[in-house]
Structure 1
Amino acid sequence: MLTGRTASITLRRCRSYTTKHGLRPVPILSDAGLETFRKDAFEPATPAILPRQTFSQLPAVQRWFLTASDGRLTLNRPYLARFGSTIVPLEISSNDRFTRIEQSLSFFLECVHASSSTYRVRPSRYFSAYVPGARAIRRTTQSNDFFSATAISPPTARVYLAQAPINDLPRALRDDLPVPDLVLKAGKGDVYDSSIWIGQAPTYTPLHRDPNPNLFVQLAGTKIVRLFPPDAGKAIFAKVQETIEGSASATMRGEEMMQGAEKKALEFEVWSDDVKSGRTGWEAELRSGDGLFIPKGWWHSVKGTGDGITGSVNWWFR
């Protein structure tokens, strides 16, 4: 339980952000000190947001991302391309198909660049300027343009650099993500594992739970996290399995939660506006530099929102 003093502070800070469908806003700690974190989050196993922008000085925040001329956030390709031969895990989704592969970081950079490419229309009767990554469109009876910006639809395939362990990255990139003191000192002093998550919004991670406490830090863009206590999350999972007549295990999760009936049912139960069942859960909106503590066993689902790139890092600790 939060102390009376801390609860009053966090409630005041949360008044500007209210959630939908009865989900409570995750409280914001009064300060980023180790003792406050232990007392009001780690030891009672309660979700909490560190004071806003606590992690804004992580080198990766400054070095990995840029703001494009149109205002959208993008990757710092010249910097990251120096490490292009690094092999990273990628999740590729297209409509209802999903697969995981390992490819080079340079491959991922090219995919992101292609997915964000657009047409820049020039004043020409027959042609518009072509940007690499977009597709040519045949002339139709409704258009005199061989390359028509109005005929382009966004690519359906999305590539997400997901669950890439920090320890597998080159030294320079690891140095851009130093382990926060809270992770090193709040628990037993060691990191169980860590991951980075980078992709073009919207991104999506389905409802799941972790076997260790988790510090989740937003590096770039915006993500919404919905969290459910162990019993409430288990009830949602069981309801989904009953709905789809499935038999998946809550402790052994595979690609079934990323595609097909289970993915759709999980997303509906956690995110749909049509759910009226009064879910018991919390919600957090995270922007660049924000950090969220997710206790062991708490179920959570994450969505990257807006335009442009979103980037996150998390550390699981004991």
Structure 2
Amino acid sequence: MPKVFSVNSKWVWHMSKTAPSRRYMSGNVSFEGNKVPQLAHLPKEHTTVEIFREQLFGSKKPTVFGNDHGSPAPLLPALDKWFSKDLRNASTTLSEYFCQFRDAMVPYEIYAPTPAQKESLALFRDYLEKEQTQDKIITRSWDSCFTGPADGQDFFQLHAPLHLFTEVLKFNDVVRKKGLQGVSLYIAQCSIAELPQALQEDIPTPEIVVHAGKGDIYGSSIWLGITPTYTPLHRDPNPNLFCQLSGTKVVRLMAPRAGDWLFRQIQAELQRSGNSRIRTDEMMQGEERYKLHQAVWEAGPDSPVPPGTYEVVLNPGDAMFIPTHYWHSVKSVGESGDLNASVNWWFR
């Protein structure tokens, strides 16, 4: 048996006004009690493809589509087909329909910076060993990710069956009842084209993506994770339509110049240079992740986020348009362990 992550291994021992201990509050108070301006939902009469193209897409204006105000998200069958209510726990879980595609291979990310989180990875491996219906593909994928030394590593990636996600959900439910930490798992930036055909048909390309620009679609992804999930500040090479399917996400958005300035400041502090146009592995752990989070989400009165920073709260059925060159950082919020899902398209 390969050397795997164990409980006793050395791995286990290894600009706004934000109050990190406070939860998201609705109404006029933005996420965690800060004073970052929030983008308002677009009026429903302005959400047609024609008006979007003429007034927003070409002029590169960030746009929020409310669930009941012309959002394309409610037209996606996945919104209803992929999720079901768990009445026992008053939460949302994956539907039986979605779980039938258990063998589909998808990319996963795991972030485990603390000893307790690293211990949860070892406990999950023990859990897999004890499962009567042990999935050898899941076990092999897990072991290949956590084999060998990984001193100082907090961020891990692997390809495994979709069934891994449901196994982690079950495991987390067990260990959290014992007061232990669950595994933080994220199916991140999984291409829609890699999904089974039936799931692809549940997330058809919205009309706005097809007709607002030239009709060129450069990529599309699903994002299915266990709260909390987090993507540091970055910018995309193409316009982005982002639809929320389950749970709540908060987006911090910065105008190009504001984001450029902040990113250069952080790179200078780190004594490095970086290509910030895409979501990279380097920004997902270590000092760069910490500094990006601190600057965007934990800034204090003496170091506020730059002017031109906005916040968007996305609930199921909401959507937003992020123009090219607009910087953004994304968090899922809610109870730890909650299901969170989104889908997006990059287009021109």
TM-score interval for Structure 1 and Structure 2 normalised by the shorter chain: 0.7 to 0.9
Q: Does 1:242 align with 2:268?
A: yes
The aligned runs of 1:218-257 (5 Å cut-off) are 218-251=244-277, 254-257=280-283
Aligned residue for 1:11?
none
Matches of 1:26 and 1:254 in 2, distance apart?
27
Q: Deviation per CA, 1:62-90, whole angstroms, max 9, x where unpaired?
A: 011112122112222x2222211111010
Number of corresponding residues: 272
Q: Which amino acid aligns with 2:38?
A: P
Matches of 1:72 and 1:253 in 2, distance apart?
30
Q: Does 1:215 align with 2:241?
A: yes
Per the alignment, in what secondary structure is the counterpart of residue 174 of structure 1? Answer: helix
CA offset at residue 250 of structure 1? 2.5
Q: Does 1:264 align with 2:286?
A: no
2:241, 2:346 within 8 Å by CA — same for their partners in 1? yes
Q: Does 1:50 align with 2:73?
A: no
Q: Does 1:105 align with 2:162?
A: yes
Q: Which amino acid aligns with 1:314?
A: N
Aligned residue for 1:64?
82
CA offset at residue 21 of structure 1? 4.7
Q: Which amino acid aligns with 2:341?
A: G
Aligned residue for 1:188?
214
Q: Which amino acid aligns with 1:302?
A: V
Aligned residue for 2:311?
283
Matches of 2:52 and 2:246 in 1, distance apart?
23
| Structure of higher CA gyration radius | 1
- What is the percentage of aligned positions where both structures have the same residue? 39
Aligned residue for 2:38?
25
Per the alignment, in what secondary structure is the counterpart of residue 274 of structure 1? Answer: coil
2:66, 2:317 within 8 Å by CA — same for their partners in 1? no
Q: Structure 1 length normalisation: TM-score?
A: 0.80
Provide closer, same or farther for how the CA distance between residues 251 and 213 of structure 1 changes in structure 2, counting only shifts above 3 A: closer
1:21, 1:278 within 8 Å by CA — same for their partners in 2? no
Larger helix percent: 2
CA offset at residue 22 of structure 1? 4.6
CA offset at residue 242 of structure 1? 1.9
Structure 2, gaps ≥5 residues long: 1-25, 115-153
Q: Does 1:316 align with 2:335?
A: no
Aligned residue for 2:4?
none
Q: Which amino acid aligns with 2:272?
A: G
Per the alignment, in what secondary structure is the counterpart of residue 288 of structure 1? Answer: coil
Provide closer, same or farther for how the CA distance between residues 189 and 249 of structure 1 changes in structure 2, counting only shifts above 3 A: closer
Aligned residue for 2:93?
74
Aligned residue for 1:10?
none
The aligned runs of 1:92-241 (5 Å cut-off) are 92-95=110-113, 97-115=154-172, 117-118=173-174, 134=175, 152-155=179-182, 157-241=183-267
Q: Deviation per CA, 1:227-247, whole angstroms, max 9, x where unpaired?
A: 011111111111111222233
Provide closer, same or farther for how the CA distance between residues 253 and 16 of structure 1 changes in structure 2, counting only shifts above 3 A: closer
Aligned residue for 2:320?
292
1:41 to 56, 81, 91: 56
Matches of 2:267 and 2:110 in 1, distance apart?
25
Per the alignment, in what secondary structure is the counterpart of residue 216 of structure 1? Answer: strand
CA offset at residue 254 of structure 1? 2.8
2:239, 2:323 within 8 Å by CA — same for their partners in 1? yes
Aligned residue for 2:105?
87
Superposition RMSD on alpha carbons, in Å? 2.0
Matches of 1:108 and 1:278 in 2, distance apart?
35
Matches of 1:254 and 1:51 in 2, distance apart?
30
Matches of 1:42 and 1:190 in 2, distance apart?
14
Provide closer, same or farther for how the CA distance between residues 222 and 251 of structure 1 changes in structure 2, counting only shifts above 3 A: closer
Bigger shift: residues 286-295 or 91-100: 91-100
Provide closer, same or farther for how the CA distance between residues 100 and 278 of structure 1 changes in structure 2, counting only shifts above 3 A: closer
Matches of 1:265 and 1:88 in 2, distance apart?
29
CA offset at residue 273 of structure 1? 4.5
Matches of 1:265 and 1:83 in 2, distance apart?
38
1:208, 1:301 within 8 Å by CA — same for their partners in 2? yes
Matches of 1:291 and 1:240 in 2, distance apart?
30
Per the alignment, in what secondary structure is the counterpart of residue 25 of structure 1? Answer: coil
CA offset at residue 101 of structure 1? 1.1
Matches of 1:187 and 1:68 in 2, distance apart?
40
Matches of 2:317 and 2:55 in 1, distance apart?
20
